[in-house]
Amino acid sequence: MVFLRLRLCALLLAAMAGALFSQLAKAADMPFVAPAPEPVNEGLVEWGTGWYLRGDVGAAYIRPHDLNGVILSPDWPNNWTAGLGAGYQYNSWFRTDVTADYQSLYKADGPQNAALLCQIGAVGTPLGAGAGAFTGSDPIYAACFPVAHTRTESATFLANAYLDLGKWWGFTPYIGAGAGVNVLYQKGQINWFESNGVAYAGTTWTDPFTNGTYMANWDRVFSGTFLRFAYGFMGGVAYDLTDHIKIDLGYRWLNLGRIDGVDSLNNRISKDLINQQARVGFRYVID
């Protein structure tokens, strides 16, 4: 009887051990699952630092100030300018930007305040009393004035680089230079009239000395768009109004390339278009 009980206990222990080993084997066959990582907050992704937008207006002085029927004041200023731009501040002392500026350089519409003597005929200079010949001829003049319908406009696109010369109590002086292209647009006409209102173009006369016949015509019609290399130098000072807004006071000297036309004496000219500007503007730092 005792032997039978011992045998039952042994069988029960064996069954329990087999079940335990079976569960351990199944656990060993299951793949290992790593715990999910904690979410990382990367914050906002920034476009960059140092980008800025700018806008400027300015008083300007243009040379030549006498062109195509337009006589600008010889005193400074005699014109205006306006522009927009965008740039990047690389560090505390170096930045670059691109700018686009517009100017209405010369504009006239109607009679101009200029008058010239224009030849309308000729008379012979006698050789002597009763000789019946001429030693030459003398011109006959009248006063003529121009009526101009003209305009000349400029769109200037520059790439610029600046050196900021330190910040002093919120003020940052700077110097810079730029180069690019000037798009020069010219269109119009100039018609000349005698003081009595008769058109000068078409007036004819015969020189009694040479017997040559001449036809007057000072009128001029012009139109075209021209690309000119442009460059300039600038300097000024900026002041921090806020962390994002700066006011900019500066001077800019520009060479806008060659310009062709006639002056008030009706002489053809071809000169460099020089532009001096006193400018005020704002820079908005984006970030």
Any domain includes 18: no
Report the domain count for the chain. Answer: 1
Residue 126 belongs to what domain range?
49-285
pTM of the model: 0.75
The DSSP code sequence of the chain is -HHHHHHHHHHHHHHHHHHHHHHHHHHHHSPP-PPPPPP----PPP--SSEEEEEEEEEEEEE--EETTEE--SSSP-EEEEEEEEEEE-SSSEEEEEEEEEEEEEEEEEE-S--EEEEEEEEEEESSTTT--EEEEEEEEEEEEEEEEEEEEEEEEEEEEEEE---BTTEEEEEEEEEEEEEEEEEEEEEEEETTS-BSTT-EEE-TTT--EEE----EEEEEEEEEEEEEEEEEEEEESSSSEEEEEEEEEEEEEEEEEE-TT--EEEEEEEEEEEEEEEEEE--
Any domain includes 2: no
Any domain includes 41: no
Q: What is the pLDDT of residue 62?
A: 96
CATH of the domain at 217: 2.40.160.20
Any domain includes 1: no
Return the percentage of the chain with pLDDT > 90, whole number: 60
- pLDDT tens by residue, 30-75: 444 455 566 555 544 445 578 999 999 999 999 999 998 888 998 9
- pLDDT tens by residue, 187-208: 999 999 998 999 999 999 888 8
What residues of the chain score a pLDDT lower than 70? 1-48, 127-134
- pLDDT tens by residue, 17-31: 455 445 544 544 444
Q: What is the pLDDT of residue 275?
A: 97
Any domain includes 150: yes
Q: What is the pLDDT of residue 132?
A: 61
Q: What is the pLDDT of residue 22?
A: 55
Any domain includes 17: no
